[in-house]
Amino acid sequence: MKIIEPERCPRCGASFHCSKSSHCWCYGVSIELSVLDKLHDTYNSCLCPECLEEFSAGKGLKDNFANLSK
């Protein structure tokens, strides 16, 4: 198995890399637990850096959850 595998963001369709470990880039993103819970309930796989940063920054959270397919 590769350490870093290509992924496709379920929100926007962008291609990105996930290491599937605690060394992945996403562990460095600070995000509120309530937002993280909602993301886990909504998507079945990881989001790309741009989408995750958007949720982390709190930009348009209501709009994002109202229009999850983007």
Model confidence pTM above 0.75: no
Q: What is the pLDDT of residues 15-45, one digit of tens each?
A: 998 887 778 888 888 888 888 888 999 999 8
Mean of all residue pLDDT scores within the chain: 81
Tell me what pLDDT residue 66 has. Answer: 58
**In the structure, what pLDDT confidence band is assigned to residue 3 with cuts at 50, 70 and 90?**
low
**Cα–Cα distance, 29 to 60 (Å, whole number):** 17
Residue 70 in contact with residue 11, Cβ under 8 Å? yes
**Cα–Cα distance, 19 to 7 (Å, whole number):** 10
Does 60 have pLDDT greater than 80?
no
Tell me what pLDDT residue 65 has. Answer: 61
